[in-house]
Amino acid sequence: MTKDIYYPAYVAALFDRCSTNYRNWSAVSSFGFVRRWRRECVALLPKNHAADTVAVDLMAGTGEVWPHLLKRFPTLGRITAIDISHQMHIDAVNRLHKHNAKRITHIEANALNTDTELPADYADMGLSTFGLKTFDADQQTILTQQIAHILKPGGHFSLIEASDPTGWSLRPVYRLYLDKILPLIERVFLRGANDFSMIGTYTRNFSDCSHMRDALENAGLEVTFKRHFFGCATSASGKKPIAYSADAA
């Protein structure tokens, strides 16, 4: 494994190249599971929020989770979308979410530096759908500190990521699909590209959300870890305690 695949510039360029096909490719290649998992991620956020609620979507991509978020929270005041890929933001605004443009603030930035973009205690909710795998363990730890920084005391978070379903009897089939069949399909249909195939490598390295869970706890947040569909995705959700103290974390 080379460390280079975790450099922000490498990741940004990878997703710039993927952005146009990302939406359809992720839905088709996962047999629709990504949609279900985005919905499940949003469902882990409790419903009782005020009308001017602010949600931060970390590693927002083309905003695939926003329809689920706006359905669960119709009176949501604002979504602040953070993504490092310029092209993902462009596609989100131009192609997909023009009708909701007034409610969405786009920030093209590295989520590991969120504290330079957003003030402390900024958000009522923080979420991420499939944005964790391109961080190594140290970067995940930094990300959890950023989440603790931007959430208001009492604010909730929900993070979900594709994971390696260790212990599942069908894991060899799942790995064969991710490691061999998907790259082959991509080479044939996307004319030799292998960008989406990197997702298999990132997912294998990521393993699951257990490091995030531990790091979130160390950052002083309350966390629940959950496996989705035999562990093919895992989530870490919870809240920043009302009596949160950064010093205690």
Ligand X SMILES: C[S@@+](CC[C@H](N)C(=O)[O-])C[C@H]1O[C@@H](n2cnc3c(N)ncnc32)[C@H](O)[C@@H]1O
Where does this chain bind ligand X (CB under 6 A)?
8, 11-12, 15, 26, 38, 59-61, 64-65, 82-85, 88, 110-112, 129-131, 134
In the complex, the smallest distance separating the C-beta of residue 247 from ligand X, rounded to whole angstroms, is: 27
Residue whose beta carbon is closest to ligand X? 61
In the complex, the smallest distance separating the C-beta of residue 45 from ligand X, rounded to whole angstroms, is: 15
Token pair for residue 193?
A: 């590209």
In the complex, the smallest distance separating the C-beta of residue 175 from ligand X, rounded to whole angstroms, is: 19
Token pair for residue 105?
A: 């603030």
- Tell which residue, 77, 79, 76, 142, has the closest CA to residue 110: 142
Report yes or no: 123 and 149 within 8 Å, Cβ to Cβ. Answer: no
In the complex, the smallest distance separating the C-beta of residue 160 from ligand X, rounded to whole angstroms, is: 9
Closest CB to ligand X among residues 131, 244: 131
Token pair for residue 44?
A: 């882990």
Closest CB to ligand X among residues 18, 244: 18
Closest CB to ligand X among residues 2, 169: 2
Closest CB to ligand X among residues 68, 244: 68
- Tell which residue, 247, 9, 223, has the closest CA to residue 112: 9
Going from the C-alpha of 230 to that of each of 54, 103, 167, 226, the distances in angstroms are 32, 36, 9, 10
